[in-house]
A = this chain, B = another copy of it.
Amino acid sequence: MLSKKTKYGLKALTYLAKKEDRNPVPIGEIAQQNNISQKFLESILLLLRRTGVLASKKGKGGGYYLIKEPSEILMTDVIRVLEGPIAMVPCVSLNFYEKCDDCPDEGTCSVHKLMLKVRDSALEIYRNTTLSNLI
């Protein structure tokens, strides 16, 4: 299941991308327009800022805004920040690889085999989808 964090994060990014200008948009507006708990969204936008997807401006007239063109914002990056690994098992993860402690040999593991396919197909989509494709 996709976490609400990812869901809300994607909605917020899309909301910002839809705006004509790139002026700062306050959290309150984003939260209201998308039916998201403001406090929860705060932490999500903060995370997106810390990882370089968004920038923010403090104080009156402040808010969050995109620093890159929507067509430059890849889903691979967004999903990895919000949801974590794209792979469903660590042993097939590119960025978060970990060996399974119960599995003696990845080469013959059925789960590994299947999840590798699933990861590849998801990756294919995320790599070829930008924020602008979602508007």
**Is B110 touching A11 in the complex (CB atoms < 8 A)?**
yes
With both beta carbons as reference points, the residue of chain B lying nearest to A6 in the complex is identified as: B111
**Interface residues as binary, A63-93 with B (CB distance below 8 Å gives 1, 0 otherwise):** 0000000000001000000000100110000
A134 to B36, CA, bound (A): 42
**Is A89 touching B134 in the complex (CB atoms < 8 A)?**
no
Range for the number of chain A residues in contact with chain B: 20 to 34
A68 to B115, CA, bound (A): 23
Which one, A21-29, A43-51, A54-62, A116-124, is touching chain B? A116-124
Check: A7 CB closer than 8 A to any chain B CB.
yes
**Is B1 touching A88 in the complex (CB atoms < 8 A)?**
yes
Binding site for B on A (CB under 8 A): 1-2, 7, 10-11, 13-14, 34-36, 75, 85, 88-89, 102-104, 109-111, 113-115, 117-118, 121-122, 124-125, 129, 134-135
